[in-house]
Structures are given as C-alpha cells and as structure tokens.
Chains A and B, each alone.
Chain A
Amino acid sequence: MGKCAKEYVAKALVPSLLVSASRAKRAARPLIRAVKIMGRPAKAELFIAFDDPYSWVGLDLLEDVLRGRNVDLRIYPVTERGISGDPDREDRLAYSIVDAARIAARHSKTMQRKDPVKPETAAMAARLAESCRGAEMMMEVCLRFLKALWEKNEDLDEADLFCIHREVTGQDASLQTDAMDRRLEQNRELMFKKGHWETPAILVLGQWYFAHERADRIGEWLDRAGWRKQ
C-alpha cells in the first residue's frame, strides 16, 4: 500500500468507520436488549476522584438521573488520573474548579471550595470509599465526602472522614492502607483498560460519558435503551 493510500485509510476511512459503527451499535444494541428482556439492571461503572470537583458535580447529577431506574452503579475511586506527561495538568485542575462551580450554579447549587483538595485528604477519602465496595451505601459515602469537600468546603482531616464514614455505614472502618492503595491502583488500571483516562468517566451500556457534563445525555441513553424511570 502506498503512502497516500495508507494516509487515506488512517485519516479518512478509519475515523469515518468508527463513527458509523458507533451509530449502528447505539441503534441496534442487541446485547443490551437481551439484558433488558431478562429484567436485569443496566450496568454502569463510574470512576471518581475526591480531588476532582467534576466528580462531585457528576455524582450529584447522576443521583437524580439514576433515581427510579433499574441501574447497577459501581463506583471506582481512584487517586491517580489523567494522561501521563500532560504539561497542562495544573492548569486543568485550576480551570476545573471555576468550571465545576459554573455547572453547579446551572443546577442551583453553590460550590464553596475555591482551592484544590490536599492529596492526603483525597487519598484517605478514596481508601474509606473503596472499603465500602459491595455495600449499598458506597454511593452515599462517596457523595457525602464529595459534598463536604467541594460543596461545603469543610476542612476535613482524617478523623472527620472516619466520622462521616461511621455516620453513613454505622460501623467503624478498619483500613489496611497498603491493601487499599493496591485496590485503588487496580481501579485506575481498570479505567485505562476499559478505555478512559480521566474522572468522572462513566461507562453506561457500552457508552463512555463524562458524568459532570453529559448527565442529561446519560438519562436519554438509558431511556432509549429501555431503562426508564419508574
């Protein structure tokens, strides 16, 4: 194959085919229909970080979108995210704080925090959230942490985080830090393996979205696939 032909395949045919295939997949969705016919919940996997204001906005909006739908939401906290070697990482974080506040305002919410969350606070919140894996209250724990950090701008230390965890779960958390950090790293690996790089990414019935800016589209997709609000 000549250089021109190779370029045409890479720059024109492949991207055009990917878009066509994606449209066809969304329109046909035979596997999704089978899951629906069997009465099973729609599977959704959400990756969040506690130092990410978009994760607060995203999970808060998702709570509304998912309420009353038969959706099995699995939340995966991470402490590392983004693209390795990204020269704009700091600027992205600074902008995300301004932008998340605007998105929150659009939904009549106020984001009080104006500065980044300390890495050690975000890591401890992630460990405590991860320790709830498999429990029904995991979403509530994550939401309470994110609200306290971003919506209310509470200056949380380790004891405060344990206290919130206890309030929601009714139990004292016993954490093995190393083991929990390994699980958080596995969550990050899972996000990359499944095809995303940043939070708050959510994979819903084969479609990736950013939860903070596509919450209404996630609702529309679930509607189209048959998982409507009851």
Chain B
Amino acid sequence: MSATVDFFFSFRSPYSYLAGPRAFALEDKYNVKVEFRPIRPMVTRGVPLPMSKKLYILLDAAREAERLGMDFGRIHDPIGDGALRCLYVSEHAKEIGKEREFVLRASRAIWVERTCMVEDKGLRKICDEIGLDWRQCQTALTDERIKKSIEANNARLRELKQWGVPTFHIDGDVFWGQDRIDDLEALLKERSLVKT
C-alpha cells in the first residue's frame, strides 16, 4: 500500500526551509510519494504581510532552527524575482527527478549562505553543484508550461482552502506548518504506511 503526500512549498518561507529535510525524508521512512508543489510567495498572491508578522516569522524561525539543529541566519530574502527563478528551476528539477536535491540546496543557499538568487551567479552555482544543466535551467525560467504548472499548484492549494506554506495534504487531510510534520507522521503510522 502506498499514498501521495502533496508538499506545498515556497522559497520565500523560512518555515518551508525548516520543513524541507523532514518532508522529503518521509519517502525514506514511509510508503509514500512526496509530490513537491512549489507555489508563489504569499505577498505575490495578495495576502497582506505586516511588519509585525514578518518579524515574528523571522525570529521564530531562528528559534525553531536552533531547536532542530539546523543552520539559519545569513539570509538573502528571495522575495520577487529570486523566489520566482527558484520556483521555475525547481519545477524543471522535478521533471528530471532532482527536486529534493535542488530544493534543499537552494533553500540552504537562501537562508544560510546569503545567496542572491536574482543573479545568475548565485542560482547557477547551486544548479552546477547538483548537476543541473544550466542551459536547460535558463530555458525553464521562461517556460510557459512551467509557469502554468506553478499556477496549478497555487490553485490546488486554494481548492484545499489553504493559504500558507509549508502545507501537506494526504487524501483530504491537511497539515499546515513545519511543526505539524509529527501529526502527519502519526497519520501515516495510523494508516500502516511505515516501511518495513
């Protein structure tokens, strides 16, 4: 028996960065396929984000990173083109089965290594490191098919009546937040999806 876990992710979300390693590792522990679904940042979807919330997210993510033993803090916020370029390349990486490598490496570059993803230099370095062909990545940046796929992910999240990331969905059950992965795992165990 196996199932699919939709994993909605934004490169602009520090909580998505914190969730990434545990989200992709679900495939190692359970009989599930993790369906990576990158979406546009909240602010580009018309969701207001006041300064108090921005600040809370940043500082809470820093505390949570400490708790999880993850590096965090040398940041280059990818809001705008940086996040979009990562989205497009991540969809391309997904097509060739390298989304896990790209997503984990790119989010680390953003939240730990202060890498500017607007510049080719920053994004290309990540692509080269994980063996993505840079010319194909450049093509992906303007690929209408990939753009449509990202919009479909946004629409799917709305269908689920969800708004934020990281969000996980399995057969009608939805979990929002990097700190709800334990709840998701409890459900996977309940459904006897643990790998033996």
Is A195 in contact with chain B by the CB < 8 A criterion? yes
Q: How far is the CA of A29 from the CA of B59 in the complex (A)?
A: 16
Q: Are A23 and B62 in contact (CB under 8 A)?
A: yes
Name the distance in Å between A25's Cβ and chain B's nearest Cβ.
Answer: 10
Is B79 in contact with chain A by the CB < 8 A criterion? yes
> Can you name the residue of chain B whose Cβ is closest to the Cβ of A15?
B75
Q: Are A208 and B56 in contact (CB under 8 A)?
A: yes
Q: Are A92 and B163 in contact (CB under 8 A)?
A: yes
> Can you name the residue of chain A whose Cβ is closest to the Cβ of B183?
A102
Pair count A-B, CB < 8 A: 80
Assign chain B's interface to a size class. Answer: 20 to 34
Is A217 in contact with chain B by the CB < 8 A criterion? yes
Could you tell me the dominant secondary structure of chain A's interface residues? helix
| Cβ–Cβ < 8 Å partners of A85 in chain B | 48
> Can you name the residue of chain B whose Cβ is closest to the Cβ of A195?
B52
Q: Which of A86, A94, A217 contacts B161 (CB 8 A)?
A: A94
| Cβ–Cβ < 8 Å partners of A195 in chain B | 52, 55-56
| Cβ–Cβ < 8 Å partners of A15 in chain B | 58, 75, 77
Is B72 in contact with chain A by the CB < 8 A criterion? yes
Query: Which of B26-34, B86-94, B172-180 lies on the face that meets chain A?
Result: B172-180
- The interface bits of chain B over 36-74 (1 if a CB of A lies within 8 angstroms of the residue's CB, else 0) are 000000000011111011011011101100010000111
Q: How far is the CA of A60 from the CA of B59 in the complex (A)?
A: 25
Q: Are A87 and B47 in contact (CB under 8 A)?
A: yes
Is B76 in contact with chain A by the CB < 8 A criterion? yes
Contacts A15-B75, A16-B75 given: A197-B58 contact, CB under 8 Å? no
Q: Are A19 and B52 in contact (CB under 8 A)?
A: no
| Cβ–Cβ < 8 Å partners of B56 in chain A | 195-196, 208
Contacts A94-B161, A197-B52 given: A19-B183 contact, CB under 8 Å? no
Q: Which of A11, A20, A91, A209 contacts B77 (CB 8 A)?
A: A11
| Cβ–Cβ < 8 Å partners of B49 in chain A | 83
| Cβ–Cβ < 8 Å partners of B177 in chain A | 213
> Can you name the residue of chain A whose Cβ is closest to the Cβ of B119?
A4
> Can you name the residue of chain A whose Cβ is closest to the Cβ of B78?
A11
Q: Which of B62, B79, B114 contacts A22 (CB 8 A)?
A: B62
Q: Are A213 and B47 in contact (CB under 8 A)?
A: no
Chain B residues packing against A (C-beta within 8 Å): 46-50, 52-53, 55-56, 58-60, 62-63, 67, 72-79, 114, 116, 161-163, 174, 176-177, 179-180, 183
Seed contacts A16-B114, A98-B174, A197-B50; 13 additional CB < 8 Å A-B pairs = A16-B73, A16-B75, A18-B55, A18-B58, A18-B59, A86-B48, A87-B46, A102-B180, A196-B56, A197-B52, A213-B179, A214-B60, A217-B67
16 residue pairs of the A-B complex, CB under 8 angstroms, read A11-B77, A12-B75, A12-B77, A12-B116, A16-B75, A18-B55, A19-B72, A20-B73, A83-B53, A87-B47, A91-B163, A95-B174, A99-B180, A102-B183, A196-B52, A197-B52
Chain A residues packing against B (C-beta within 8 Å): 8, 10-12, 15-16, 18-20, 22-23, 83-88, 91-92, 94-95, 98-99, 102, 106, 192, 195-197, 208-209, 213-214, 217
